[in-house]
A and B are shown apart, each in its own frame.
Chain A
Amino acid sequence: MIRSTLTISNRLGLHARASAKLTKLAGSFKSQVHLARNGRRVNAKSIMGVMMLAAGQGSELELEVEGPDEAEAARSLKALVDDKFGEGS
């Protein structure tokens, strides 16, 4: 199990398209991926769950990955968030 903290830094926060990217990436791993914010814990492979986190710019998310490819999954997800979902804003 790997736990880490992600900070959403893109301007629009975890909006629909960003959530879609995150969900897709999470779904590509065998590990269980969960995100938590303000006491709400969701399955990161569900776009609805991710959108429901209502994570605006600057919010912090707790990432929890458990499974055979957990290291790789945690690394890739962090990279995506740090890259502001490749959208550059």
Chain B
Amino acid sequence: MSIQVFGVAVSGGVAIGRAVLIASSRVDVAHYYVSEDSTLAEVRRLTDARDAVAAELSSLQRELPPDAPHELSALLDVHMMLLHDDALVVAAAAWIRERHYNAEWALSARLEVLARQFDDMEDAYLRERKADLEQVVERLLTMLETGGRGRQELSRAQARDFVGEEQLVLVAADISPADMLQFKGSVFKGFVTDVGGRTSHTAIVARSMDIPAVVGAREASRLIRQDDWVIIDGEAGIAIVNPSPIVMEEYRFRQRQVEVERARLDRLRHTPAVTLDGQRVDLLANIELPEDAATALAAGAVGVGLFRSEFLFMNRDGALPDEDEQFEAYRDAVIAMQGLPVTIRTIDVGADKPLDRMTAQELRHEHSLNPALGLRAIRWSLSEPSMFRQQLRAMLRASAHGKMRILIPMIAQAREVKLTLEALRRAKEQLDEQGRPYGVVEIGAMIEVPAAAICIEQLLPHFDFVSLGTNDLIQYTLAIDRSDESVADLYDPWHPAVLALVARTIAAARSAGRDVSVCGEMAGDPAFTELLLAMGLRSFSMHPAQIPTIKQRVLRSDIDRLSRVWPSALASADPCAAVRAWQDAATRA
């Protein structure tokens, strides 16, 4: 009969295989009394096991493959310290001497006492750390049980036994990160554990190793039997045991799709985005949190074109991040991008109840006045000078760790330019006074107000680069609030006025020798790729998931030929139709 076991989704993808159950040795440890005269030998057995586990952990530590996630080494270290902590082995040895427990009993009894204290903790993250202790004890028990052969031998033997068989998934009460390391590159395609949560070390390591996994599936290791067929749906956090043929087929299909998609991404990832006529195009990623940098790199982004800093400020119950916390987030993103440029936008929210549990979208609905035309973005930052300088200082400090650029949203007036540059100068002075280092930072203006696009020549001398925020530019140019359903259909990126402003901005920036990119939705929409290339755009920033699609477009484009036809498209009253006709002609040619 097919059953489903629900757990916590921690690591995506689908794995299908036969279950291999690693029984927890703790469930069935032997309990017996040792005689008075053999307590010394029993203590010796325990300390020998400890030394053997220590040797095992150090050899794991030494043999860490270079691609192992860096958390692993730190975790092995923690396990080593727990192993040597007096509260464990020394305390268990005391019970062997005083109560004449056998080593396994003394150890598991000590574990229970310690585990109870963890269970009482209020902080969920700290409570999870009980797992580390359990894993260390598990290792000790296995060592005692195998008489010194240890876990490594055991799992190697188990893995060897299965080589050449069908694909396998691992089911266990818990798997320590160290064990997972051993399973890496082995036959196991995924795993299910009874305990754990999103923040358990096992989950963290699973994600970094990209293995489908479901944790916290409570009874899994009891419900699933050796050799059952198991589908692990790491996306949904479900393990399906002995699925029906239809379900199996469905998942095999999904698995193939994921593989095909991955292969496609992999092929494209390292392909440079160069047009048919040899022009290099930068495809950058828009991100919201430092952690997104990994996704950006995986998608083949050559930098971050837009890091929306406001996400750091949202949903915090009014407690805003201080300079250090901001600095750390910016620095993490800069470091994670491994030397590729990161463009961070200063905060883009506004109105009187700024950041408390609200998205920018909700903010717009919240107020009866028109907040899109109100105190937001740079206007808001300039009205909160000390907070603005705090953000600038945090950004500048992050620039000491890699290539970083600052982007100012919604600039439209000369006065704003002046005040912004003054704030930046002040922030630098403050850092100089504190003796804090910062790097060379380029500063850019986001062109999203029609006034800025129309007067672009006057803005350019003050900035190192500009970035077109097409979403807001369209909204302000056409006077359409896209979130208002009654007019949403009038939101038209193809409107000749919008295209004219975009073209004008790109041309002016290029002739002034300034970098220009588009970071609005237009950049990630393949329908616009050729038009933007023809207008002279060489830098596109988008959601990482869109990069492969746009890259394919770029690889097939011939800018030389496109540039000859695009002015006629722009002159048309219906540019969308004109571009489509031109694309059709291009495909036929």
Please give the residue numbers on chain A whose beta carbons come within 8 Å of chain B beta carbons, in ascending order.
12-17, 19-20, 23-24, 46-49, 51-52, 54-56, 88-89
Bound-state CA distance A15–B123 (Å) is 10
Bound-state CA distance A16–B133 (Å) is 10
CB atoms of B132 and A48 under 8 A apart:
no
Please give the residue numbers on chain B whose beta carbons come within 8 Å of chain A beta carbons, in ascending order.
71, 74-75, 77-78, 81-82, 85-88, 114, 117-118, 121-123, 125-127, 129, 132-133, 201, 328, 331-332
CB atoms of A17 and B123 under 8 A apart:
no
Bound-state CA distance A48–B137 (Å) is 13
**Known contacts being A16-B132, A88-B328, A89-B328, is A47 close to B81, with CB within 8 Å?**
yes
Bound-state CA distance A42–B81 (Å) is 16
Bound-state CA distance A13–B88 (Å) is 23
Task: Return the chain B residue nearest A59 by Cβ.
Answer: B123
Task: Return the chain A residue nearest B201 by Cβ.
Answer: A16
Q: Which residues of B contact A56 (CB under 8 A)?
A: 122-123, 125-126
- 19 CB contacts below 8 A, A to B, read A13-B123, A16-B201, A19-B78, A20-B74, A20-B81, A46-B86, A47-B81, A47-B82, A48-B85, A48-B88, A49-B85, A51-B118, A51-B129, A52-B117, A55-B126, A56-B126, A88-B331, A88-B332, A89-B332
* A-B contact number at CB 8 A: 63
CB atoms of A15 and B85 under 8 A apart:
no
Partner of B126, one of A14, A17, A24, A48: A14
* Additional A-B contacts beyond A47-B81, A88-B331 (17; CB < 8 A): A13-B123, A16-B75, A16-B78, A16-B132, A17-B78, A20-B78, A24-B81, A46-B87, A47-B78, A48-B87, A48-B133, A51-B129, A54-B118, A54-B127, A56-B122, A56-B123, A89-B328
Q: Which residues of A contact B328 (CB under 8 A)?
A: 88-89
CB atoms of B117 and A15 under 8 A apart:
no
Q: Closest Cβ of chain B: how far from A51's Cβ, in Å?
A: 6
Q: Which residues of B contact A54 (CB under 8 A)?
A: 118, 121-123, 126-127
CB atoms of B125 and A12 under 8 A apart:
yes
Most A-side CB within 10 Å, residue of B77, B118, B123: B123
Bound-state CA distance A24–B74 (Å) is 13
Q: Closest Cβ of chain B: how far from A32's Cβ, in Å?
A: 14
Task: Return the chain A residue nearest B91 by Cβ.
Answer: A48
Most B-side CB within 10 Å, residue of A12, A16, A54: A16
Q: Closest Cβ of chain A: how far from B550's Cβ, in Å?
A: 33
Partner of A15, one of B86, B87, B126: B126
**Known contacts being A16-B75, A46-B85, A46-B87, is A51 close to B332, with CB within 8 Å?**
no
Q: Closest Cβ of chain B: how far from A6's Cβ, in Å?
A: 16
Q: Closest Cβ of chain A: how far from B332's Cβ, in Å?
A: 7
Task: Return the chain A residue nearest B82 by Cβ.
Answer: A47
Task: Return the chain B residue nearest A16 by Cβ.
Answer: B78
Q: Which residues of A contact B82 (CB under 8 A)?
A: 47-48
Q: Closest Cβ of chain B: how far from A14's Cβ, in Å?
A: 7
Q: Which residues of A contact B86 (CB under 8 A)?
A: 46, 48
Q: Which residues of A contact B201 (CB under 8 A)?
A: 16
Q: Which residues of A contact B87 (CB under 8 A)?
A: 46, 48-49
Bound-state CA distance A15–B126 (Å) is 6
Q: Closest Cβ of chain B: how far from A67's Cβ, in Å?
A: 19
CB atoms of B125 and A13 under 8 A apart:
yes
CB atoms of A17 and B332 under 8 A apart:
no
Q: Which residues of B contact A51 (CB under 8 A)?
A: 118, 126, 129
Nearest first, the 9 A-B pairs at minimum CB distance are A56-B123, A54-B121, A48-B87, A88-B328, A47-B81, A48-B85, A16-B78, A20-B78, A17-B74
Most A-side CB within 10 Å, residue of B71, B81, B82: B81
Q: Which residues of B contact A23 (CB under 8 A)?
A: 81
Q: Which residues of A contact B117 (CB under 8 A)?
A: 52
Bound-state CA distance A46–B86 (Å) is 7
**Known contacts being A20-B77, A54-B121, A54-B123, is A15 close to B114, with CB within 8 Å?**
no
Task: Return the chain B residue nearest A27 by Cβ.
Answer: B81
Q: Which residues of A contact B129 (CB under 8 A)?
A: 15-16, 51
